Amino acid sequence: MLRIPIARRLTIVLIAAGLAACACSSQAGDGGSKDSGTYSLWDPYPQFDNGSEWVKVIDNCGTQAGVKITRQAYDTTDLTNKVLLAAQQHTAPNVLVVDNPVVSTLADAGVVLSNKDSGLAAAEAAPNLVAAAQTGGQTYGVPIGANTLALYYNKAVLRTAGVDPAAITDWASLDAALAKVTAAGKKGITFSAIGTEEGTFQFLPWFWGAGAQLTSLSSPEAASSLDLWKSWLDRKYAPNSVIGNTQTTSWQEFATGEYAFAENGTWQRANAAKAGFEYGVIPIPARNGGVAPAPTGGEFVTVPVQGDKGTETTAAKIANCLVSPDTALTTDTALTYVSAVPAVQERQIAAQPDLKVWVDAVKAAKGRTSDGLGTRYPRISQPLWTAVQAVLTGSKSSADALSAAQAAAASAK
């Protein structure tokens, strides 16, 4: 594959990474050496300290590979920037855990090895998750786990409104539920439509659920999904605050107990358990029924280029250990992920039956960089969230906003 100079990819990487501080053991830029017996691993999990289960998994994989691992944790955006600079200086970490939309950009820049070259094995992982790291006919890395979006609901609010959540299977039945809830004096649904990647992330299930494609932003299907969101604001089913909501502030609205529904992710399960009211979860419905494809969140384990085959082979052993079915249950429990391995997903459901809806959502999910988009995705996402903002604020119609978005995406370099 043609190696594109890293500097030319810097701007794209910075845009792609804009989605999660660090106190760990090694210093930035400390790449492992074939002679030192010490290998470096960088990840985007600063919330896990050296006593966490995640670090125990890392240490165990180092022991199995016969080496010591020093770990560095960064905020997601900071991690991507530091990896890019480290690669320029030939001090990249030996193992890199990185947000899935960034993988194709790092691969295109020649920062990470393909699985064919590194020896990483992705065969056990679900194909729809692996697709997020495929570009140019090659796969780069293995998903360590996944999260995605679904609809949380407040059981008491739905009960009062006479809504059966099991009956919500398409957009029409969701609209009918929202009408009943608001008629009963409660609030309908909250979500994040902020003008950032978070807004695009939350819009995509409705966009894809309408049958729209990211290569055709101005399609009638795309317009129907944006019209749905606008109709919720017009009918007071959703608050105007969604225009500026992050996923965190949207969750805070739901946590007041006044809303029937909140679009949010697996990562809110712990907060939901502490919300003080009974809740449930249903998949986001597609327009005409079934589960809408939601975007996959989660990271990939990759092997950065080191220029030494022996070092790269040992790094791949560490990486394969982190994602192997034998380790995956412990890894994904530590990281609060749905496993990328179908057999392990079933074990997770057996241990926690409430995970089934999330497993089903992950099975239907797709990567934002899938469908061959790769490094083109950031050039599409920004015009799309701009269109969402324009429509929800009333400055443009769906047709006009999406036509402008399509033109901007087509002309972006």
> Which band of pLDDT confidence, cut at 50, 70 and 90, is reported for residue 2?
very low
> Which band of pLDDT confidence, cut at 50, 70 and 90, is reported for residue 32?
low
Minimum mean pLDDT range among 23-37, 106-120, 393-407: 23-37
Has domain 149-294+373-411 been given CATH number 3.40.50.150? no
Mean pLDDT value of segment 56-76: 95
- Judge whether residue 399 has pLDDT over 90: yes
User: How far is residue 192's CA from residue 199's CA, in Å, rounded to a whole number?
Assistant: 6
**Residue 145 corresponds to which tokens in the numbers above?**
């786990």
- Judge whether residue 22 has pLDDT over 50: no
Which residue shows structure tokens 């609030």? 187
Minimum mean pLDDT range among 1-10, 69-78, 140-149, 153-162: 1-10
Name 401's bridge partners: none
Q: What is the pTM of this model?
A: 0.85
Total count of residues recorded for the chain: 413
For residue 162, give every residue at least 6 positions away whose Cβ sits within 8 Å of its Cβ, in sequence order, or none: 180, 184
CATH classification code of 6-146+298-364: 3.40.190.10
Q: Which residue from 46, 122, 133 is spatially nearest to 328, judged by alpha carbons?
A: 122
| Helical ranges in 336-374 per DSSP H | 342-351, 356-364
- Judge whether residue 104 has pLDDT over 50: yes
For residue 285, give every residue at least 6 positions away whose Cβ sits within 8 Å of its Cβ, in sequence order, or none: 168, 169, 170, 171, 173, 174, 209, 291, 292
- Judge whether residue 28 has pLDDT over 50: no
> Which band of pLDDT confidence, cut at 50, 70 and 90, is reported for residue 5?
very low
Q: Which residue from 290, 326, 342, 349 is spatially nearest to 128, judged by alpha carbons?
A: 342
C-alpha 362: how far from chain center = 10
With H, G, I as helix, E, B as strand and everything else as coil, classify residue 157.
helix
More confident residue, 212 or 370: 212
Name 259's bridge partners: 187
Mean pLDDT value of segment 375-401: 96
Q: Where are the domains of the chain?
A: 6-146+298-364, 149-294+373-411
CATH topology match: 6-146+298-364 vs 149-294+373-411: yes
